[in-house]
Amino acid sequence: MPQPKIDRRGWLAWFLQKRRRERADTVGILLSSDGHGHLNWACNVSGEFGFSISYSADGVTWSSYDGTGGELYRDCSGIAGYFRVCQADENGYDVLPYSNAVHSDGL
């Protein structure tokens, strides 16, 4: 008995739609910087309790830097190092996932 012909376009469309829906259920934060510490980020969910900014001098060891009141920008100029952002809960603790890390030259 011959096998049925596989509709590859239909399968690919189904697979990509399934992947988009799975990714839409997760929190995504995209952090950008001008290289001098002016941080801007976009998030696909609202930060009900604000966002938490973490700092690292070497990109490995992270510490809490500052919190925001729901704003999507922060001026951290004058500090050389790496920054990343995540959502904060009602007690000010970090809620994963973290954003990508960006570097500031400290100017």
Number of domains in the chain: 1
Classify residue 12: in a domain, yes or no: no
Query: Per-residue pLDDT averaged across 37-64, rounded?
Result: 85
Classify residue 3: in a domain, yes or no: no
pTM of the model: 0.70
Q: What percent of the chain has pLDDT over 70?
A: 90
CATH assignment at residue 83: 2.60.40.10
Percent of residues in the chain assigned helix, strand, coil, to nearest 5: 15, 35, 45
pLDDT at 107: 76
9-23, 44-58, 60-74, range with the lowest pLDDT: 60-74
The pLDDT-based confidence of 69 (bands split at 50, 70, 90) is low
Show the domain range for 40.
Answer: 27-105
Alpha-carbon 102 to chain mean position: 11
Query: Per-residue pLDDT averaged across 44-52, rounded?
Result: 81
The pLDDT-based confidence of 82 (bands split at 50, 70, 90) is very high
